[in-house]
Structures are given as C-alpha cells and as structure tokens.
Amino acid sequence: MHLFLIIIVLSGAIAFRLSWQGNAQTWGDRWHSALFAFLLPPLLLLMTAIAIAVMGYRGQMIGMETGRLSYYLAIAYLVFVLFSGMKVLGDGLTSLKMIRSYPQIKLHLNRQEIQARLLEDSGLYSAQVGFFKPELVISQGLLENLDEEHLQAVLNHEQAHCYYRDTFCFFGLGWLRRITPWLPNTESLWQELLALRELRADRWACQQVDGLVLAESLLLTVSAPFREFASFTAEFNRPYSRDRLQERVDALLSEPDRLDDFKWLDWSGLAIALFPLIFIPFHY
C-alpha cells in the first residue's frame, strides 16, 4: 500500500510540474505560478516520505499489507534530503567565511553610510551574500568604473534584496532544487524565479532612483565576469539569456506591474502537500 502511495504522489508531482506553462501575463501572476509549481511537488514528496517513515513497514493500511521496500525507499530519500541540506548549508557557510575575510569598507552615498565587503577585483560586481542578514559585497572595479549616480542605483537594487529577504528565501528554494533536480521543469522554474526576483528588486530600487540610470548600470555590469558564491547569493549582474536581459531592461524603461502584486505565496495553497499525512491514522 505504501508503494502504491509513492507511485500516486510521484505521478501527481510529475504531472503538476508538466502542467506549468509560465505564460501568465502580470509579474505577480508569474511569480505566484512559478513559486507554487516549484514548491508543491518536492514538499509533497517530502511529506510522503515522512508519513511512510512514521508508519513503518509493519502492519496494514486500509486493509492492505505494507512492505519493507517502500519503507526503505522513504528512509533513503529522507537521508538524501538531510545530507543535501547539510551540503547546501556547508557550501553557504564556506562562502560566508570567505566573504568575511574581505576587508570591510564604508561608502557615503546620498547622505547614507553603507557598509560593504570589498572584493579586490577589476570586474564590475555587487551582491548580497548571506542567510537572514546578508552582507553587501562590491568589487574594486565597480567603485572605479561607476559614477556616484550609477553606483547608488546598484546599491538600491541590492538593498531591495535585503528588504525582501531574498537570500534567506532562495537558500531554502535552492535546497528544494537540489533534492528534486529530476522533476520536470525544475531548472526552468528556478531561472524564472531568479529573473522575477531581479525584476522585483529593480522595481523597488526605482522608487529611489531613475529607471534609466538603473538600466544603464545593468548594461555596464552585465558583461563583467560572474561569481557565484552560494545559492543564497543575490547578484545584480547575474548572467541572463538575451531575452531575459531585454525583459529586465524593458521593464526598467516602462511602467511595470504594481509591487503589491509581487508578494510571497499564499501559503494556504501549499496545504495540499500535507495530503500524505492523513494516511497515518489509517495505519495499524
């Protein structure tokens, strides 16, 4: 019976991922559609494994015998999930340790004092790196090649990532990506969420700076060498396809969707992921 439950849940997760089209019209609809499609299948699989591990391999469920195979599969998957989480966390802590070895500087822009870690590199790079309280990393090349107006635009964009807790949230999303890379559309959904994350940060930054200035900053930095420290990094100039880059520039030069449509998911919809847990009382 447990093996039958695994097959049903796995088939449903795959079918749900395949049904994602990514053709919503507004940013808010695209964000919610991609986030829900990204989150639900791995959470459903995780809850199924937990339910089977709790029930064990002895006894019956709804009058049908349970078996060892499904139990061992569930335990193996939970061990894989645990070690994947430890690997993601370990990579993140290693990156954070490296970042904190960089010299700390203070920037004075627009009557603001901003602390940052200086990356001694001639490339144009900026990012928020860290978990819940990330640190700003900027390169020497960025300070030398951007004037104060364009540098302020870049820093406003990075402040948006702090405002939305993007590094912390994408640390969790990156873990789910790692434990289900074989599900359909995992990479497509990941890239969609990254692109929408940057669009949202751009829109937030445009409340403080001119969109044209931010677009110019993006075009100046997009060809710079890319550094990816960990899954919890939010970079201003991460590499994009030509279409993604064009979408971001067009959004900066136009009047996009409202920011209040760009909220995190209504978590009540993810209650579906708890479905496998309802079988626990029926195991005896």
Distance CA(105)–CA(61), nearest Å, equals 62
Specify the pTM: 0.87
Question: Is pLDDT above 60 for 21?
Answer: yes
State yes or no: pLDDT of 134 exceeds 70: yes
CB-based contact 88:174 (threshold 8 Å): yes
Any domain includes 91:
no
Domain assignment present for residue 233? The answer is: yes
Question: Can you tell me the distance from the alpha carbon of 89 to that of 219, in angstroms, rounded to the nearest whole number?
Answer: 33
pLDDT at 84: 92
> Is the CB of residue 237 less than 8 Å from the CB of residue 126?
yes
Residues 249 and 278 placed together within one structural domain of the fold: no
81 — pLDDT class (breaks 50, 70, 90):
very high
Summarize pLDDT for 91-117 with one digit per residue, the tens: 888 888 888 888 998 887 767 788 889
**Residues 48, 28 share a domain:** yes
Does residue 65 register a pLDDT over 70?
Answer: no
Residues 66 and 113 in one domain: no
217: containing domain: 97-261
Q: How many domains does the chain have?
A: 2
| N-to-C CA span, the chain | 12
Better pLDDT: 117 or 60: 117
Share of the chain above pLDDT 90, in %: 15
Give the pLDDT score at 111: 72
pLDDT digits (tens, 9 = 90+) for 202-213: 888 888 888 888
23 shares its domain with 141:
no
What three-state secondary structure class fits 114? Answer: strand
Q: How far apart are CA 174 and CA 233, in angstroms?
A: 10
Task: Mark whether 78 and 187 lie in a shared domain.
Answer: no
Q: What is the pLDDT of residue 83?
A: 94
pLDDT tens-digit profile of 39-50?
999 999 999 888
Q: Is 92 within a domain? A: no
Residue 101 maps to a domain:
yes
Q: Burial level of 59, CB count in 10 A (0-12/13-18/19+)?
A: exposed
In the DSSP assignment, the letter for residue 283 is B
Query: Residue 119 corresponds to which tokens in the numbers above?
Result: 């990356």
155-209 pLDDT tens trace: 999 999 988 888 888 988 999 999 999 999 999 999 999 988 998 898 888 888 8
Based on the domain organization, do 257 and 272 belong to the same domain? Answer: no
What distance in Å separates the CA atoms of residue 83 and residue 76, rounded to the nearest whole number? 11
- Residue 64, pLDDT > 60, answer no
Same-domain status, 149 and 175: yes
126/153 same-domain check: yes
- Looking at the fold, whether 245 and 157 belong to one and the same domain comes out as yes
Amino acid at 33: S
pLDDT at 239: 66
Whether residues 27 and 130 fall in one domain? no
Same domain, yes or no: 23 and 104: no
Handedness of CA 171, 176, 182, 186 (dihedral sign): negative
Q: Tell me the pLDDT of the chain averaged across its residues.
A: 81
* Phi, psi (deg, nearest 5) at residue 137: -120, 125
Q: Which residues pair with 135 in a beta bridge?
A: 129
Q: Is residue 127 situated within a structural domain?
A: yes
pLDDT band at 1 (very low <50, low <70, confident <90, very high): low
The residues that bridge with 64 in the sheet, in sequence order, are 61
Q: Is 164 contained in some domain?
A: yes
Residue 258: pLDDT band with limits 50, 70, 90 = low
pLDDT value of residue 86: 92
Would residue 137 count as lying in a domain?
Answer: yes
Query: Does 87 map to a domain?
Result: no
Same domain, yes or no: 255 and 278: no
> Strand pairing partners for 112?
109
Is pLDDT at 28 greater than 80 in this prediction? no
- Nearby residues of 55 by Cβ (< 8 Å), 6 or more positions away: 2, 61, 66, 279, 280, 283
Cα–Cα distance between 55 and 52 in angstroms, integer? 5
